[in-house]
């Protein structure tokens, strides 16, 4: 340690006046750290004196800077836009597109920055709700990892460039391409339903007639389209009316999570499951036949685990039962099917087909719906199309529209064709719009080596990811909230997407980039407006911007046409028993999808519906399978297919079929942001052209283990604890069979009525005469999708804590969805229960706070006053529902100004050492009270909608004033199915649950769906 030196230039005056405390470099570093953790290193053993000097100095100095209250500036507009009121949000309608399908959203914007995304009530696919990806898309807008400049690969490596440089290059380069008709030009893009992009593509085809546009999606639904081609000879898109279906059968279709129209279908699905007297007799029944335990399977009334690779055979057996035994008429045009189906009689699964499935389908013709997942082969889709036709569903629960891009090649074939051309040197220029083929193209195509043979690779993407890292040009793509565009909903609803903010990262939209290539000097706004004028008409423009859609712009349904039977003979290949051996099924994760959202912290931290895994994927293996392979939960497993191997941890998931190992795609990224590269294991190397849905694998247990971050099962529990848990779960989560629900009443006594505790109160109960806020969560409607968690996180400025903290149980979500298994370990059922703060009238947390930081207000809300909290955590200790979250760290430190733009200004940001919890969105209640007060009236029912309730696709959460006679929440709390969780504790919660109702029926024939 150097002796103390005087250094006149850098020591501030203040120091010199105290006893010659000089600044050595060590000292300066020391003072900069708030915690002098490195003090020991700087001190020699003999300088206790120096240590005291340093400690004294830092304490005095550090305190001063922290206490200063900065003077704030107010910067009003120079010219305030008309109608702009500072401090109040403005709402703009736009739409978010994922793989060609748009969902309508309404975005709240404060002072020109979007802070919250909600559903668009006018949009038929949204009805006011949102999906998980739409809620979380806001975080991507403010992601500092998004690329913000054009990159160019020069001779010295990658260098920063500018749009002007690219424009100049493109001018010249594409003029040269146009000269030979674009013969060596290819575009690889994802699915895009934007009418303006389609128009640009036509101009592109005019300028480059010999060029090819290749569409590829890693998560493809093309098998469905292919099935339609086989069966009807046309490219058709199926549409469901689930609210008219009494029997819904899903063969490996996780439609509640994965379907492009999942939000709408979830709403329709639960519409057929109402238990009030008006609807009681029409309760639908959902069968799910699947290999992996999915969200849809959790909601099923009857779940039948069958290995994913055997589901094709299962469908064949079901068809055989229906046509050959049950007497279902074969429709015209597929007479040869009868012969082929005979082959299924000898299949092992034939005898074990669920008899009630057959009975129900026959009993509810015209009111059923059979669905097949996009991973199953096209022939099975065709077969199910035939089944739906035979059962009379077409025109009733199932309708079709014609796909606009008929005869487009299958995604996998398209990219394989492109790679072949690239390998043979036919491609000079490849433009990649958004997709990430170096990460998610089928592994056996070896896209990377093919790419080396391409002269110029231009990639437009939001991140410098695996593909951009090797491209010659990387162009930053703008976020949908930053640009003009348009999109179509699943049913064809035309939406204009308008920007909420100027591009934050110097990006351009795909439309604008394509315009540059085509040589048109048009901006996004002009292009979109011009398309709109052509297709809809100028006079509807303002209305479309206001509504977020063009009303009644859904595509007309079409009759599917005549059945063809050329494909029938290939069905027999499914009738032979599959080879024994494990298959890895490539799951689409609801959060990262194909990997494009991997850098989104909210999505990484929201738990998976069924596994409750965060931050990683794992090999999902059934209980018996794990034993057979010889692996434990968390143990590393090596999986090999086609010369590639993957090592990843095992997650033992009850309900997995015996030979099915589920692995989610979209993890294990190598580039693309700090969060993306930290999460999970890349399953794409196992995925080959012939094995896009599942791959036959060799498995081998490895020695190591991996700590999986799950939000349930935080701490291992001993066998006694497990037994007690099993005993208690039915008390927490009430489920009832519909046959026991007579006239809406639950005779078993477990479900119902909310009798209220008979305990004596220690305090005089408070009379709530004003507003009396209450909430109900209908477990019958909850599908476990977890969108409420992300909506709450977005609304309330809840931080992301990261994997290590989740392992310690410190995730910050104010609402969580608990998941319980029940029944046989090989085929259990799953129940979901969202849990928020119950706002107990007799709150145990309020009684123990030493500083009265958590108090009760006159309307029944349990209020959390952050600035008073000193962090004793006694309240969390006392909470029986364990809904209180503690800020162990200052999670909002070190954020760039752009990252801080995402915060909702109506909610405080919490610092380290402060407890937080669900507030029933007190900021929304306050806003409604002020608005209502200013208008001299009371708050109407439905005016206050907490973030979770607003996002929920099935409207499972209801909130309102219990003192309002006509409020929906009061009606729900009076429902016979209503109960309070842990009622016996006498905490008098304001949150009630409504029992889940299942309709499994009986295995013997005689009871159809919906009968009590």
Q: Which of 907, 918, 951, 980 binds other proteins (CB under 8 A)?
A: 907
Q: Which of 70, 719, 765, 897 binds other proteins (CB under 8 A)?
A: 70
Q: Which of 12, 44, 77, 749 binds other proteins (CB under 8 A)?
A: 77
Give the interface segment with other proteins, choosing from 69-77, 526-534, 711-719, 818-826 (CB under 8 A).
69-77
Name the residue among 562, 559, 549 with its Cα closest to residue 487: 549
Encoded tokens for 57: 């100095």
Query: CB-based contacts of 786: which residues, under 8 Å, 6+ apart?
Result: 132, 590, 606, 607, 609, 817
- The reply to whether 86 sits near other proteins by the rule CB under 8 A is yes
Q: Residue 189, Cα to own-chain centre: how many angstroms?
A: 22
- The reply to whether 76 sits near other proteins by the rule CB under 8 A is yes
CA 364 vs CA 214, 285, 296, 357, 396: distances in Å = 43, 11, 21, 11, 12
Q: Which of 37, 46, 75, 521 binds other proteins (CB under 8 A)?
A: 75
- The reply to whether 867 sits near other proteins by the rule CB under 8 A is yes
Report the site for other proteins in 376-395 (rule: CB under 8 A): none
**Residue 181 and residue 732: Cα distance in Å, rounded?**
68
In the block, residue with structure tokens 């929906």: 968
Q: Which of 926, 966, 1003, 1006 binds other proteins (CB under 8 A)?
A: 926
- The reply to whether 157 sits near other proteins by the rule CB under 8 A is no
CA within 13 Å, CB half, 519: 14
Query: CB-based contacts of 398: which residues, under 8 Å, 6+ apart?
Result: 238, 239, 240, 241, 369, 388
- The reply to whether 68 sits near other proteins by the rule CB under 8 A is yes
- The reply to whether 565 sits near other proteins by the rule CB under 8 A is no
**Residue 1002 and residue 982: Cα distance in Å, rounded?**
31
In the complex with other proteins, which residue's Cβ is closer, 37 or 74?
Answer: 74
Minimum Å gap between C-beta 117 and other proteins is 20
In the complex with other proteins, which residue's Cβ is closer, 77 or 715?
Answer: 77
Give the interface segment with other proteins, choosing from 147-155, 273-281, 907-915, 977-985 (CB under 8 A).
907-915
Minimum Å gap between C-beta 434 and other proteins is 35
In the complex with other proteins, which residue's Cβ is closer, 44 or 867?
Answer: 867
- The reply to whether 69 sits near other proteins by the rule CB under 8 A is yes
- The reply to whether 61 sits near other proteins by the rule CB under 8 A is no
CA 678 vs CA 617, 618, 638, 697, 802: distances in Å = 12, 14, 20, 26, 10
In the complex with other proteins, which residue's Cβ is closer, 210 or 930?
Answer: 930
**Residue 136 and residue 117: Cα distance in Å, rounded?**
8
- The reply to whether 893 sits near other proteins by the rule CB under 8 A is no
In the complex with other proteins, which residue's Cβ is closer, 737 or 857?
Answer: 857
In the complex with other proteins, which residue's Cβ is closer, 69 or 763?
Answer: 69
In the block, residue with structure tokens 């592109």: 204
CA 213 vs CA 117, 198, 209, 415: distances in Å = 33, 11, 11, 10
**Residue 507 and residue 888: Cα distance in Å, rounded?**
37
**Residue 946 and residue 958: Cα distance in Å, rounded?**
9
- The reply to whether 928 sits near other proteins by the rule CB under 8 A is no
Q: Which of 361, 475, 861, 949 binds other proteins (CB under 8 A)?
A: 861
Q: Which of 8, 79, 278, 718 binds other proteins (CB under 8 A)?
A: 79
Number of residues that bind other proteins (CB under 8 A): 41
Q: Residue 428 in 3-state DSSP?
A: coil
Per the document, the length of the chain is 1012
Contact flags string 930-959 toward other proteins, x per CB under 8 A: x--xx-------------------------
Minimum Å gap between C-beta 901 and other proteins is 16
- The reply to whether 17 sits near other proteins by the rule CB under 8 A is no
- The reply to whether 765 sits near other proteins by the rule CB under 8 A is no
Query: CB-based contacts of 877: which residues, under 8 Å, 6+ apart?
Result: 848
Q: Which of 909, 972, 977, 1007 binds other proteins (CB under 8 A)?
A: 909
- The reply to whether 422 sits near other proteins by the rule CB under 8 A is no
- The reply to whether 52 sits near other proteins by the rule CB under 8 A is no
Give the interface segment with other proteins, choosing from 81-89, 602-610, 696-704, 877-885 (CB under 8 A).
81-89
**Residue 917 and residue 883: Cα distance in Å, rounded?**
7
- The reply to whether 865 sits near other proteins by the rule CB under 8 A is yes
In the complex with other proteins, which residue's Cβ is closer, 86 or 154?
Answer: 86
Q: Which of 3, 9, 40, 63 binds other proteins (CB under 8 A)?
A: 63
CA 560 vs CA 1, 239, 282, 335: distances in Å = 85, 12, 28, 18
Contact flags string 797-836 toward other proteins, x per CB under 8 A: ----------------------------------------
Burial letters for 412-430: b for 16+ Cβ neighbours within 10 Å, e otherwise?
Answer: bebbbebbebbbeeebbbb
Give backbone dihedrals phi and psi of 459, rounded to 5 degrees, phi first.
Answer: -125, 130
Minimum Å gap between C-beta 75 and other proteins is 4
Q: What is the DSSP string of 948-976?
A: HHHH-TT--EEEEETT-TT-HHHHHHHST
Give the interface segment with other proteins, choosing from 689-697, 884-892, 929-937, 946-954 (CB under 8 A).
929-937
Minimum Å gap between C-beta 499 and other proteins is 20
- The reply to whether 767 sits near other proteins by the rule CB under 8 A is no
**Residue 925 and residue 692: Cα distance in Å, rounded?**
49
Give backbone dihedrals phi and psi of 684, rounded to 5 degrees, phi first.
Answer: -60, -35
CB atoms within 10 A of CB 82: 5
Minimum Å gap between C-beta 846 and other proteins is 11
Minimum Å gap between C-beta 795 and other proteins is 11
Q: What secondary structure letter does DSSP report for 695? A: E
Name the residue among 911, 919, 796, 798 with its Cα closest to residue 854: 919
Do β-strands 185-189 and 302-305 pair in parallel, antiparallel, or remain unpaired?
unpaired
In the complex with other proteins, which residue's Cβ is closer, 123 or 838?
Answer: 838
- The reply to whether 87 sits near other proteins by the rule CB under 8 A is yes
Give the interface segment with other proteins, choosing from 17-25, 83-91, 332-340, 453-461 (CB under 8 A).
83-91
Using CA atoms in the order 943, 946, 947, 953, what is the torsion angle rounded to 10 degrees? -80
Minimum Å gap between C-beta 112 and other proteins is 13
- The reply to whether 908 sits near other proteins by the rule CB under 8 A is yes
Residues that bind other proteins in the complex, under the rule CB under 8 A: 63-64, 67-80, 85-88, 855, 857-859, 861, 863, 865-867, 906-909, 919, 922-923, 925-926, 930, 933-934
């Amino acid at each position: 340690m150097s002796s103390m030196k005087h250094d006149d230039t850098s020591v501030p005056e203040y120091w010199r006046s105290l006893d010659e405390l000089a600044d050595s470099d060590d000292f300066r570093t020391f003072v900069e750290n708030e915690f002098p953790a490195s003090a020991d290193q700087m001190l020699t053993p003999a300088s206790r004196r120096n240590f005291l000097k340093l400690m004294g100095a830092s304490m005095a100095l550090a305190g001063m800077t922290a206490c200063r209250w900065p003077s704030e500036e107010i910067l009003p507009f120079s010219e305030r836009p008309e109608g702009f009121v500072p401090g109040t949000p403005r709402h703009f309608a736009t739409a978010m597109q994922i793989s060609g399908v748009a969902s309508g959203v309404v975005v709240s914007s404060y002072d020109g920055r979007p802070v919250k995304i909600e559903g668009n009530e006018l949009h038929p696919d949204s009805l006011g709700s949102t999906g998980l990806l739409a809620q979380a898309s806001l975080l991507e807008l403010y992601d500092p990892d998004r690329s913000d400049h054009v990159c160019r690969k020069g001779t010295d490596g990658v260098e920063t460039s500018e749009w002007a440089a690219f424009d100049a290059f493109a001018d010249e380069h594409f003029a040269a391409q146009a000269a030979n008709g674009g013969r060596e030009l290819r575009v690889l893009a994802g699915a895009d339903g934007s009418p303006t992009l389609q128009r640009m593509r036509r101009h592109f085809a005019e300028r480059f007639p010999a060029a090819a546009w290749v569409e590829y999606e890693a998560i493809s639904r093309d098998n469905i389209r292919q099935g339609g081609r086989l069966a009807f000879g046309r490219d058709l898109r199926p549409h469901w009316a689930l609210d008219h279906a009494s029997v819904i059968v899903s063969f490996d279709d996780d439609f509640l999570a994965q379907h492009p129209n999942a939000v709408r279908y979830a709403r329709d699905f639960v519409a057929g499951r109402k238990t009030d007297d008006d609807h009681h007799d029409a309760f639908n029944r959902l069968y799910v036949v699947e290999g992996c335990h999915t969200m849809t399977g959790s909601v099923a009334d009857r779940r039948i685990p069958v290995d994913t690779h055997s589901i094709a055979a299962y469908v064949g057996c079901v068809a055989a039962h229906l046509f050959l035994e049950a007497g279902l008429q074969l429709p015209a045009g597929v007479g040869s099917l009868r012969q082929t189906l005979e082959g299924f009689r000898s299949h092992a699964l034939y005898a074990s087909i669920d008899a009630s499935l057959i009975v129900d389908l026959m009993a509810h013709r015209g009111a059923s719906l059979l669905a097949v997942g996009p991973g199953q082969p096209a022939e099975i889709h065709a077969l199910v199309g035939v089944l739906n036709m035979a059962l009379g569903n077409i025109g009733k629960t199932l309708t079709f529209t014609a796909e606009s891009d008929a005869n487009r090649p299958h995604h996998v074939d398209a990219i394989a064709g492109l790679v072949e051309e690239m390998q043979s040197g036919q491609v000079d220029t490849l433009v990649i719009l958004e997709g990430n083929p170096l990460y998610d193209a089928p592994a056996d195509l070896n896209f990377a080596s093919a790419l080396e043979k391409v002269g110029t690779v231009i990639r437009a993407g939001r991140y410098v990811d695996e593909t951009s890292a090797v491209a010659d040009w990387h162009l930053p793509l703008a976020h949908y909230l930053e640009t003009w565009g348009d999109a179509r909903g699943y049913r064809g609803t035309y939406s204009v997407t308008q920007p909420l903010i100027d591009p934050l990262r110097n990006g351009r939209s795909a439309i604008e980039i394509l315009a540059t290539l085509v040589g048109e000097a048009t901006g996004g706004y002009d292009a979109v407006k011009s398309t709109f004028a052509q297709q809809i008409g100028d006079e509807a423009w303002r209305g479309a911007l206001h509504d977020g859609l063009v009303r009644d712009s859904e595509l007309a349904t079409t009759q599917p046409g005549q059945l063809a039977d050329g494909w029938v003979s290939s069905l027999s290949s499914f009738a032979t028993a599959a080879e024994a051996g494990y298959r890895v099924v490539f799951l689409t994760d609801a959060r990262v999808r194909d990997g494009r959202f991997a850098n989104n912290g909210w999505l990484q931290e929201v738990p998976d519906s069924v596994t409750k895994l965060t931050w990683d994927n794992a090999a999902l293996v059934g209980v018996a399978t794990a034993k057979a392979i010889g692996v434990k939960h968390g143990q590393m497993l090596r999986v090999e297919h086609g010369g590639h191997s993957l090592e990843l941890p095992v997650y033992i998931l009850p309900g997995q079929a015996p030979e099915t190992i589920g692995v989610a795609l979209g993890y294990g990224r190598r580039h693309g942001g700090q969060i993306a590269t930290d999460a999970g294991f890349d399953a794409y190397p196992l995925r080959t052209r012939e094995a896009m849905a599942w791959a036959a694998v060799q498995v081998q247990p490895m020695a190591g283990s991996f700590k999986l971050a799950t939000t349930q099962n935080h701490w291992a529990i001993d066998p006694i604890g497990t037994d007690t848990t099993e005993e208690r779960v039915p008390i927490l989560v009430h489920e009832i069979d519909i046959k026991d629900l007579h006239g809406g009443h639950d005779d078993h006594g477990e479900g119902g009525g909310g009798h209220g505790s008979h305990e004596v109160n220690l305090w005089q109960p408070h009379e709530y005469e004003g507003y009396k806020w209450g909430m109900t969560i209908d477990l019958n409607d909850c599908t476990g999708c977890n969108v409420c968690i992300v909506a709450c996180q977005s609304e309330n400025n809840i931080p992301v804590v990261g994997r290590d903290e989740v392992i310690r149980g410190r995730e910050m979500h104010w609402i969580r969805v608990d998941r319980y298994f029940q029944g046989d370990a090989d085929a259990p059922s799953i129940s979901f229960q969202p849990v928020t703060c119950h706002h107990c009238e007799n709150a145990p947390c309020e009684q123990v706070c030493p500083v009265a930081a958590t108090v009760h207000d006159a309307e029944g809300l349990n209020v959390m006053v952050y600035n008073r909290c000193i962090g004793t955590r006694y309240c969390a200790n006392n909470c029986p529902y364990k809904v209180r979250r503690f800020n162990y760290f200052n999670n909002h430190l070190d954020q760039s100004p752009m990252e801080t733009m995402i915060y909702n200004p109506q909610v405080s940001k919490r610092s380290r050492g402060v407890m937080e919890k669900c507030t029933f969105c007190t900021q929304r209640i306050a806003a409604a009270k002020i608005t209502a007060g200013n208008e001299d009236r009371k708050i109407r029912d439905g005016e206050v909608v907490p973030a979770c309730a607003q996002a929920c696709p099935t409207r499972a959460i209801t909130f309102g004033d219990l003192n309002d006679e006509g409020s929906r929440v009061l009606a729900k709390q009076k429902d016979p199915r209503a109960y309070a969780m842990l009622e016996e504790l006498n905490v008098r919660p304001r949150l009630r649950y409504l029992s889940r109702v299942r309709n499994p029926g009986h295995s013997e024939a005689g009871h159809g769906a919906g009968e009590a």
